[in-house]
């Protein structure tokens, strides 16, 4: 009888964790390549700030399980509208979401886009006053303030000598190798790139003016399995524990408040 009881208790202990995981509400989180926030979103081993943030969210509670769902910079609108994912983080409602129903939550995290050119003798901040006659290296699908947030490639090519890629790093290298004159990169990505490539600090001329400052938001689709107030509470818990601030510092970011 004791042997049967021990077997029953052992099976119960093995069964409970699986049931707890199964009982969690799955929250699908959309992600597209946007260094340093998400790198290689569609690979088997994505990395970046979002990956680390989802890990923290999953560690701090058991009610929800946040799961990464790869999308693309152009496909993300349709994927959220169709319910392929429930929320998307490090976004802005101004980046093409105006016509799509959603709820937004301020993450309390800001970043900025800056202009980057190759440093040359006699070249100073006045170089960024006009883009006329200059070749631009831009990230495909991104929205830029200097272009009125119009991400249409044909329009950008018509009004600017724009070439597009899906890599901030390749755009910076285009500038260094004189294949483009100016690129636009987030301050956080540029800081990380220079940290990893210290000699490049002297090779770049970085604008003191910003193309845009973006205050990151979480956007939730209507009917998402997590409510806005629940998401806000989870964010507050990470902030109060100090974990969020420590994570952001690793990516050259900080909390706004």
| DSSP secondary structure code for residue 39 in this structure | B
Q: Could you tell me if 151 and 165 are in contact, meaning their C-beta atoms sit under 8 angstroms apart?
A: no
Model confidence at 183: pLDDT above 90:
yes
Model confidence at 161: pLDDT above 80:
yes
Q: Could you tell me if 89 and 50 are in contact, meaning their C-beta atoms sit under 8 angstroms apart?
A: yes
Min mean pLDDT across 15-19, 82-86, 160-164 is at: 15-19
CB proximity list for 119: less than 8 A, separation 6 or greater: 202, 203, 204, 205
Q: Could you tell me if 211 and 114 are in contact, meaning their C-beta atoms sit under 8 angstroms apart?
A: yes
Cα angle for residues 151, 164, 178 (degrees, 5° grid): 135
Indicate whether this model's pTM tops 0.85.
Answer: no
Name the token pair of 244: 């969020």
The sign one gets for the Cα dihedral 243, 247, 249, 254 is negative
Kindly report the length of the chain. 257
Q: Tens of pLDDT along 87-135?
A: 999 999 988 898 899 999 999 999 999 999 999 999 999 999 999 999 9
Q: Could you tell me if 29 and 90 are in contact, meaning their C-beta atoms sit under 8 angstroms apart?
A: no
Model confidence at 46: pLDDT above 90:
yes
- Confidence (pLDDT) at 242: 94
Measured CA to CA, the distance from residue 243 to residue 159 in angstroms comes to 44
Q: Could you tell me if 131 and 146 are in contact, meaning their C-beta atoms sit under 8 angstroms apart?
A: yes
Measured CA to CA, the distance from residue 39 to residue 171 in angstroms comes to 15
Section 167-187 average pLDDT: 95
Name the token pair of 38: 């998400």
Tally Cβ neighbours within 10 Å of residue 253.
Answer: 21
Cα 151 → chain centroid: 17
Strands 25-31 and 64-70 turn out to be: parallel
CB proximity list for 146: less than 8 A, separation 6 or greater: 131, 184, 211
Q: Which residue has the tokens 């601030």?
A: 245
242 beta partners: none
184 beta partners: 115
> 150 falls in which pLDDT band (50, 70, 90)?
confident
Locate the DSSP E strands across the chain: 25-31, 64-70, 87-91, 103-118, 135-139, 161-165, 182-186, 204-220
Mean pLDDT across the chain: 90
């Amino acid at each position: 009888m004791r042997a049967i009881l021990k077997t029953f208790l052992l099976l119960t202990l093995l069964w409970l964790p699986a049931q707890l995981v199964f009982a969690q509400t799955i929250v699908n989180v959309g992600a597209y390549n946007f260094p340093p926030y998400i790198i290689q979103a569609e690979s088997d081993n994505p990395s970046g700030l979002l990956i680390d943030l989802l890990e923290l969210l999953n560690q701090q509670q058991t009610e929800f399980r946040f799961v990464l769902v790869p999308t693309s910079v152009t496909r993300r609108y349709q994927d959220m509208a169709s319910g392929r994912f429930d929320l998307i983080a490090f976004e802005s409602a101004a980046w093409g979401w105006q016509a799509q129903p959603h709820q937004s939550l301020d993450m309390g995290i800001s970043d900025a886009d800056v202009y980057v050119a190759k440093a040359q003798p006699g070249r100073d901040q006045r170089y960024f006053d006009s883009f006329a006659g200059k070749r631009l290296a831009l990230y495909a699908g991104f929205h830029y303030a200097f272009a009125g947030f119009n991400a249409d490639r044909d329009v950008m090519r018509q009004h600017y000598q724009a070439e597009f890629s899906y890599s901030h790093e390749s755009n910076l290298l285009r500038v260094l190798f004189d294949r483009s004159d100016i690129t636009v990169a987030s301050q956080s990505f540029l800081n990380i790139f220079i940290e990893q490539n210290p000699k490049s600090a002297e090779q770049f001329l970085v604008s003191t003016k910003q193309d845009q400052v973006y205050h990151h938001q979480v956007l939730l689709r209507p009917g998402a399995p997590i409510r806005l107030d629940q998401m806000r509470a989870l964010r507050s818990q990470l902030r109060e524990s100090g974990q969020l601030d420590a994570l952001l510092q690793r990516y050259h970011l900080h909390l706004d408040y």
